[in-house]
Each structure stands twice: as C-alpha cells, then as structure tokens.
Amino acid sequence: LEVLGVDVLYYGNAHPSQKPLADVRRESTQFFNTSNTHKQDKGKATVGAPEFFTENYNIRLRPGTPKKIAHSLTKHVRERDGGLRFVEALTLPYSQERYEVACNLLNTDVTSMRDIEARLKTWEHAAGDWIETSYRVGTTVQMNLDALAGAQTKMGEDSYNQLVRERFHSKIME
C-alpha cells in the first residue's frame, strides 16, 4: 500500500508499541471528528493485528433517538465505563437522524454476542424502546477456525475460497 502512496497506519501487534486501533484513529485520522460530516481520510489505511480475533456487533437506534440516549447505551456496554469486559464501543452518527453503537468484542471467550444482547435487554428495560436492530458484522472466531481447517491442502484452499465466495454472496443477498 505504501508503494501506491497510501499512508499505512499500523495498530495492535503490527505497531511497534502495540498501539490500540482507537488511539491510532484518534491521533492520526478524522474518524472521531463528528463535526466533519464526510469523515474521509483519503489515502490512509489502518492495518493491524489485535491480540485476539475481534468480532464486531452493531446496535442501530431508532430515528429521533437523542444523542444523550445513544451515549448512555455505549457506556452501558463498553468496558471502560463499567460495561462488559473486553468490549470497546463508540457512538456513531448513522443515517436519517439515527445513531449506531459499534462494538468490538476483543475476547469472545469472555464476552460474546449473547452477552451484549443480554446487556441490551437490561438497558432497554431502564431507558426505553430505542433499539431498532442489532447485528453481527463480519466473521466469527469459529468461522475463521473452520476456514483454516478446510484450507490445509491446495484442494482444501480452492474449496474454501469457493465457500467464502458463496457465503459472501449469500450475505449480500440477505
């Protein structure tokens, strides 16, 4: 990427001091700049290797949800605010006057998607019915382990690549 003129920003185990992704974004990009509606950092890419495989889970709030309510959900699930262990979360503006809480599950052996969903129920009980939907983004640890197990040979690699294409296509069509 650097050869193509892209500024590569490393994080996690790929960074010399193992800097977390959030710190790299905060210090070197416009990712957290909410006043910048375009939020485009053209010519930059983040590349990293977290200690554990990170699963992603998003919670979209209903149109008209106040920002204060969205932040309260973020704090309810995020570890640094007393939420779930090994969960990073941030509140992002979405479309049509909505917010989304994006969660990184840093160690799913400790905190899983199911734990997040249980936590959402306690938050909704106290805060009200603000959640529109919630969903997993990307692959899970098990999906990756299954893929690696199936790619031990050239034939396995080819069949795995076909499986990835099929799964990707089916997810797009959902």
Q: What would the pLDDT profile of 7-65 be if each residue is shown by its tens digit? A: 888 888 888 898 888 788 888 887 766 555 545 656 788 888 777 778 899 999 999 99
Give 158 or 74, the one with higher predicted confidence: 74
User: What pTM was estimated for this model as a whole?
Assistant: 0.70
Tell me the per-residue pLDDT of 90-148, one tens digit each, with 9 for 90 and over.
998 888 889 999 999 988 899 999 999 999 999 999 999 999 999 998 877 788 777 77
Q: What is the pLDDT of residue 33?
A: 65
Q: What is the pLDDT of residue 101?
A: 96
Beta strands in the chain (DSSP E): 7-12, 44-49, 55-61, 87-93, 99-105, 131-137
pLDDT at 156 over 60: yes
pLDDT at 173 over 70: no
Q: What is the pLDDT of residue 73?
A: 97
What is the rounded CA–CA span in Å between residue 121 and residue 128?
10
Q: What is the pLDDT of residue 172?
A: 61
Residues in Cβ contact with 61 at an 8 Å cutoff, skipping those fewer than 6 apart? 69, 70, 73, 94, 98, 99, 100, 101, 130, 131, 132
User: What is the band of 152 on the pLDDT scale with cuts at 50, 70, 90?
Assistant: low
User: What is the band of 150 on the pLDDT scale with cuts at 50, 70, 90?
Assistant: low
Q: What is the pLDDT of residue 19?
A: 87
Report yes or no: 49 and 125 within 8 Å, Cβ to Cβ: no
